[in-house]
Amino acid sequence: MILVCLGCRTTGHVGQTPAEQRAERERASERAKSAGSFQASLASGKQQLSIPELDQLTYGYADRYYMVMSSAVDAVKRNNPDPTQRRLAHQIKLNGVLSMYDIVSGSDSYSETLDLVVSVTLESIVLIDENRAEQMFGDRAPGLIKAIRTMRVEAWELAAKVLNQDQLERLDYVILEWRRTHPEVNEVAFVKFDNFAGTRATGLLTELKAGGGFLAPLSEASQEMKDWRRLTERAFWYSKRAPNIAAIQAEGAVNEILSAPEISDMLQTADRLGKTAEAMPQTIATERHAIFSELDARQTLLTNSLGDLRNIMANADALGRTATLLTTNVQQTLLLLGDTLKMMDTVGQHFGFDKPPARPFDIQDYNATLAQFNLVLTNLQQLTLNADQVAQSEGWKRTVQSLTESADRRVDHAILGLCLVLGLAFILAIAYRFISLKMERRMASNKQEKP
Amino acid sequence: MTRLAIICLVLLAWLPVQADTNQPVATALLLNEKSAMTLTAGLEQYAHPPKFAGKFSSIGSGGTTFLMNHWAAEFARLYPDVEMDIHGGGPADGLPALLDGKVDLVPMSRPLPAEDIARFKKKFGYEPSQIVVAQDSIGVFVNKTNPLTGLTLTQLDAIFSSDAKRGGGRPEFWSDLGVTGPLADKMISRFCLVHAYGSPVYFREYVMQGSDYRFDVQLEPVPSSLVQAVGADDAGIGFASVMFATARTRFVPVQAGDGRYLLPSYENTLSGAYPLVRPLRIVFNRKPDGTMNPAAREFLRFAVSRRGQQLIALAGSYPLTTEQQQTALQVIGDAP
């Protein structure tokens, strides 16, 4: 079915009605008869090939094509992670082999030869000359390029057994010209010589049948008799290769199905699900480990924090006790001082010191001063803490680093400048030495000249 | 000081090599549709008679016959009743046939040799007519991955000829031609067309000074196959008309007489600066009174017309200038 469908795509003549095609064929036939006889008269005495010999050559070629192209395509597909590349490679093999077996098992040896050359040459133009193989397969392309090139060379060697140089040139021209006017066609394996109807190549086939090349012409009677035998041979030949073709088609069909967007989406979803299920135990273990690690880390942090808090409270308690003690002592001292002053006032009055009366001593003033002193100490402590935080911040570090680098650069510049100055001084010293030596020598020579 | 000089020399040698490895593929050098139309816009258009019938035949060089086929396809649409027998196979068949009166046109890719002119004159009493129908250059093709930056004619001679008369030695590996990298140790694969084409004959006479080709030069039946062989083989080299350029090959610049390395571009072909320029010609039998095969005359007039030149420019060849067209039309002449 695939064979039929693919064949349908490329048959038919572009832009010509059947009547025009018939008229063109008739005109071409007339031209070809004269050209064929003319070329035959010019042809050298090259040995002519019989139809059965040509059949054997084309059978052999088709089998080699299958072998060479299969090897090259399988090499492209082997361990290839890209499904698109695998599918495209298989498509090349499928189309090429189907086309080749279709051609070789045809009924007309003359057409077969031309069809075979056309198909393989167009394939080689697309894959090699237009660089499609490299575009499609990248680093895997060289093997395929070599294979299709080999098959093109063999196809033209086969053609050269049938066609003379002029006919080969015309065949080359029509193939190139067809490709130039049909650059959009990618599946060229099924393009046949018949597709060139309406071009200047039309007469080529008629020439061949008229004995214009190196094929021995057959009389109608012998042709009729041999056709039956050849048809049987071809049917047998094709049937022996049918399993291969079926296998390639089946693989191609599977590739096609797998590359459909819906199947591709479904496979991707299944793949994701499978990967998720497969990774589940590992994910759970990882999560569990992460949770316990986090708990451990937090517990340590909490313990440390509590310890710090306990220390702080103990320190605060000690500080409070010290402060209380200090305040009590100061208060006691001040009370004693107050008593002492009161006693001195009494003594002064007793001895008649006539001084203006001063404000009596008040302990509250000193208490207030002490409270302010405590506040200042607290602010100073807070300031120290803030300074520590600033010193630990990234911005401060960057600033310090920038300043350091700037200082380094300045030092480097200074050293470089110093080196340059030293170098210059060294050069000047050498120059001075050199000039002085020169002058000494000149003066010495002058002295010798003027004794 | 010596070390510094060595470093500078190495850098100078390295820089052009780096620049040239990014050379475009061969097809980038050909005329695009816009250029083809612009270059042919000033040519005289073909004024064709409304109805015409006749017959003419042609045998000659494969490359020029390739262009003849382009003209013939269009000419057949203009004049369905004109019968054309156009064949390649080489001018070796065409010239004797012209002398025998069996063909009307002989496409050639080189000037008609003096001895052939003498033979023609001896038989007919006047010289054969010949016109230039297209510009062409022989491009030296290498694989697009080949980093070769240029070749002299001496090197080209040494690559292809059996005895290298120009004294270029005997290069066997790409390193012998100054190529470095992975290709350096690969043997040179040489490709040449069969002698039905004019380019190997021209190359042997002009580049190889008459020497024979090396025995290991691989012969290709048609130019498209030759260029493909080079595109499929990263160690390949061959020469053919520029019109067969592909995306897997690139042209090697060839050293001109003034020392510059030039590509076979339209400008270098037109100016003749590229060393392997060869105008494509058609030789025909036109009597001194202007009489000749009328179908062949119309075909030649069409070939050098604006439409004819556009056809071949779009197929990859280089078109004529207006001066060349006028010269050709004068040689063809009008019907007496």
Q: Which of B88, B102, B247 is closest, CB to CB, to A129?
A: B247
pLDDT tens digits for range B221-259? 999 999 999 999 999 999 999 999 999 999 999 999 999
The answer to whether residue A105 neighbours chain B at the CB level (below 8 Å) is: no
Question: Using CA atoms, how far apart are residues A407 and A413, in angstroms rounded to an integer?
Answer: 10
B163, B206 in Cβ contact below 8 A?
Answer: no
Q: Which of B73, B76, B231 is closest, CB to CB, to A128?
A: B231
SS3 for B310? helix
Query: Are the beta carbons of B221 and A170 separated by less than 8 Å?
Result: no
- Pick the residue of B58, B85, B244 with the most A CBs within 10 A to test the interface with A by mutation: B85
What residues in B contact A121, CB-CB < 8 Å?
A: 224
Q: How far apart are the CA of B165 and the nearest CA of chain A, in angstroms?
A: 31
Query: Are the beta carbons of B87 and A153 separated by less than 8 Å?
Result: no
Minimal-distance CA residue of chain A relative to B220: A153
The residues facing B135 across adjacent strands are B318
Question: Using CA atoms, how far apart are residues A121 and A123, in angstroms rounded to an integer?
Answer: 5
The structural domains of chain B, ordered by start, are 33-136+279-332 (3.40.190.10), 137-271 (3.40.190.10)
Nearest CA to A150 among A173, A175, A172, A128? A128
Question: Using CA atoms, how far apart are residues A396 and B151, in angstroms rounded to an integer?
Answer: 65
Q: How far apart are the CA of B201 and the nearest CA of chain A, in angstroms?
A: 16
The arithmetic mean of pLDDT across residues A375-383, rounded, is 76
**Whether the predicted pLDDT of A409 surpasses 90:** no
SS3 for B172? coil
pLDDT tens digits for range B79-122? 989 999 888 877 777 888 899 989 999 999 888 889 999 999 99
What is the residue-averaged pLDDT of chain A?
Answer: 74
What residues in B contact A178, CB-CB < 8 Å?
A: none
pLDDT tens digits for range A201-230? 556 666 666 656 665 555 554 565 566 666
SS3 for B84? strand
Cα angle, residue B298 at apex, residues B278 and B92 outer, rounded to 5°:
45
pLDDT tens digits for range B156-189? 999 999 999 999 999 999 999 999 999 999 999 9
Element spanning B296, H or E = helix B294-303
pLDDT class of A19 with cuts at 50, 70, 90: low
Q: Which of A128, A164, A170 is closest, CB to CB, to B232?
A: A128
B250, B141 in Cβ contact below 8 A?
Answer: yes
Question: Using CA atoms, how far apart are residues A212 and A214, in angstroms rounded to an integer?
Answer: 7
Question: Using CA atoms, how far apart are residues B231 and A148, in angstroms rounded to an integer?
Answer: 12
Question: Using CA atoms, how far apart are residues B93 and B196, in angstroms rounded to an integer?
Answer: 9
A172, A151 in Cβ contact below 8 A?
Answer: no
Nearest CA to B87 among B59, B55, B57, B56? B59
Question: Using CA atoms, how far apart are residues B108 and B136, in angstroms rounded to an integer?
Answer: 12
Minimal-distance CA residue of chain B relative to A42: B93
Q: How would DSSP label each residue in B52-67?
A: --EEEEEE--HHHHHH
The answer to whether residue A131 neighbours chain B at the CB level (below 8 Å) is: yes
| Residue A103 CB neighbours (<10 A) | 26
ipTM: 0.85
Q: In the 8-state DSSP scheme, what is residue B269?
A: H
Query: Are the beta carbons of A172 and B222 separated by less than 8 Å?
Result: yes
Query: Are the beta carbons of B65 and A169 separated by less than 8 Å?
Result: yes
pLDDT class of A430 with cuts at 50, 70, 90: confident
The answer to whether residue A20 neighbours chain B at the CB level (below 8 Å) is: no
Q: How far apart are the CA of B21 and the nearest CA of chain A, in angstroms?
A: 19
| Residue A238 CB neighbours (<10 A) | 15
Q: Residue B206 corresponds to which tokens in the numbers above?
A: 């002009």
Q: Residue A399 corresponds to which tokens in the numbers above?
A: 């600033």
| Residue A287 to residues A272, A274, A283, Cα–Cα distance (Å) | 20, 20, 6
Q: How far is CA B220 from the centre of its chain?
A: 16
Q: Which residues of B sit within 8 Å Cβ distance of A?
A: 57, 59, 62, 65-66, 69-70, 72-73, 76, 80, 83-90, 93, 97, 102, 194, 196, 221-225, 227-229, 231-233, 246-248, 315
